[in-house]
Structure 1
């Protein structure tokens, strides 16, 4: 049987989530750049937009989005170890870090990629050009890519990165990095001896942008070597944890959440809940103004649109304005749906943990309509 094909790029934030999962599950796959002609022939007719990551199965099925790729294997039981823990606090904690890693950390990921040209610029221009247009001569693709990276640079503003907010972004990231380093100094993965969906969420920002681009990668190596080791571990075929002597390849016993992980949950509460409150409120107001949206309508009005407006919120004494992307509701709903499906005792245990770490609101910040994923796009549910 032919292997799976993953269309992505090393510097793509969301490709990192899918790639790490495939590596850790020992899936037989090859990675191809979307600059390959096969992407246009095999993928675009099914997806209808240029986007990565995309997986093509040996049977020709096309699956877009890192979470959907992971769930394709999970739903078929084709896993070495499930990304979804069985115990209540482990499950909800892991899903929280899936949301936070892929969405809540985009601000520092964009800042440290695009605002340090003296260190990053040559590397980024080479990588974007090489993987987008491998068949084009280096000089020609450099000219083309400089125009497109200019547009990407401006996109950082959509995530709230401005000259006024940069000090808060840097302060917040350095605090987070220190807490991540403290945790990964004690535990090889988020919840013990193998990765869960939370690790796959975190690797998105912490590898492609923050662990691979020159400036933030050097910063990570200097200030958080255990985090850098974790990024290596997340891209290794084996467990890759020899420094943890005789550590079993299993999760922490008895649904344990160690103090270092509780500290990280507190950071999610302080760093990301203000934005969740703001964008759920915006979306509810937007839905009230658009009551006649048909079921299955693309969330942005068309397949290519990801944002429906901007919201404002305060964090670290600064006012931020950021794009409202309903895809984030899809990941937020996964936390809430998992909680709703727990038995009463499990819900009580989770509530106690979230109350202790300031995250209770993550269960109640809901919108009047849900976001679903159908035919590889986000749509408004009925």
Structure 2
């Protein structure tokens, strides 16, 4: 590796790789992107102990993973425009929006990619040409391998059924509508300057919803200002960002998104945490009359634990503002964290490449 070069290992169609690249560009942090193949994927996994993407290889040989953790660490480590509000309530709101965007839009992003014929045909071919380029099989067979694997893992094993699909699609449409109303008024979600919230929503909106044929057609027709925001955030430069003020409060027009967080996402996180504590492997719950059965996620228990720690650190004035946004949902931020949940990796078979994130792995040397 060239001296002083940060390398981002990932895929050009990867949800979280796109998120991290946009953040590094906005901060003005130089890096080199390297498209993973299966050999590179295993090498990164040996360095961090986690098979996922993106993975960041530092000039000193240490490695980082988990986009949220990388953003938090690099904001302190490297000079550049701040991308986190200084106001405590606005900062917590931005972190909550980032987490919601990261995690709750994951399922619709994967549903649109792997449930629709045009999308699955295109994306399976792209992965066969990139991630599986070092696998010694005919192209058609590589494409079939990835197609069957993705549909099994991200649809059948993640609760996507004929009954749940309308609710998954409604989440995308309602999110588009809420964002369109906001972004028709201002350039970024919370104001004139991007913050964590923007990057949390960007991963799905950039590499999935604005790129894959079916959701992209919906976005162009239904939410043109969201499409503009995707390009604006990808093009954001430090000099332009520094000219704008950080948001000092939480805009009122974000209330529909916070209502969705309070009614759907936080209850799911609490249910997932409870099931994890009981040692079960599946979270079973109902949402608006639709029954869900999804695998338990230690990473999302970590997400809830992290949000609770941030919430507990707020002063009374800031907490009151967040409580007003979330209503009864705020009560779910008051519970205790599961001991050592931050150190519990999400179990993932070594044969399964994952566009997910888990934890920082600084200090682990290259193999």
Normalised to the residue count of structure 2, the TM-score between the two structures is 0.85
Q: How does 1:1-382 map to 2 (within 5 A)?
A: 1-35=3-37, 43-76=44-77, 78-117=78-117, 119-134=118-133, 140-155=138-153, 156-238=155-237, 249-252=244-247, 255-286=248-279, 309-355=281-327, 358-373=328-343
Give 3-state SS (helix, strand or coil) of 1:7's partner: strand
User: C-alpha separation between the residues in 2 aligned to 1:126 and 1:144?
Assistant: 8
Is the CA contact (8 Å cut-off) linking 2:19 and 2:200 kept in structure 1?
Answer: yes
Is the CA contact (8 Å cut-off) linking 2:305 and 2:338 kept in structure 1?
Answer: no
Give 3-state SS (helix, strand or coil) of 2:297's partner: coil
Post-superposition shift, 1:223? 0.8
Between the two proteins, the alignment pairs up a number of residues equal to 346
Is the CA contact (8 Å cut-off) linking 1:99 and 1:332 kept in structure 2?
Answer: no
Residue in 2 that maps onto 1:298: none
Residue in 1 that maps onto 2:348: none
User: C-alpha separation between the residues in 2 aligned to 1:373 and 1:25?
Assistant: 28
Structure 1: which 5+ residue stretches go unaligned? Answer: 287-307
Give 3-state SS (helix, strand or coil) of 1:193's partner: coil
Post-superposition shift, 1:250? 1.8
By relative contact order (CA 8 Å, sep 6+), the higher-ranking structure is 2
**CA deviation string 1:120-148 (max 9, x = no partner):** 133112211122134679x8233113112
**CA deviation string 1:193-229 (max 9, x = no partner):** 2221221211122222222111111111111111111
**CA deviation string 1:268-289 (max 9, x = no partner):** 2223233123212212322xxx
Which stretch of the first structure deviates more once superposed, 49-58 or 318-327? 49-58
Post-superposition shift, 1:259? 2.4
Post-superposition shift, 1:25? 0.7
Structure 2: which 5+ residue stretches go unaligned? Answer: 346-356, 361-367
Is the CA contact (8 Å cut-off) linking 1:8 and 1:32 kept in structure 2?
Answer: yes
Post-superposition shift, 1:235? 1.4
* Residues 237, 131 of structure 1: alpha-carbon distance in 2 compared, 3 angstrom cutoff: farther
User: C-alpha separation between the residues in 2 aligned to 1:362 and 1:80?
Assistant: 35
Q: Where has structure 1 moved over 3 Å in runs of 4 or more?
A: 36-41, 133-137, 365-368, 373-379
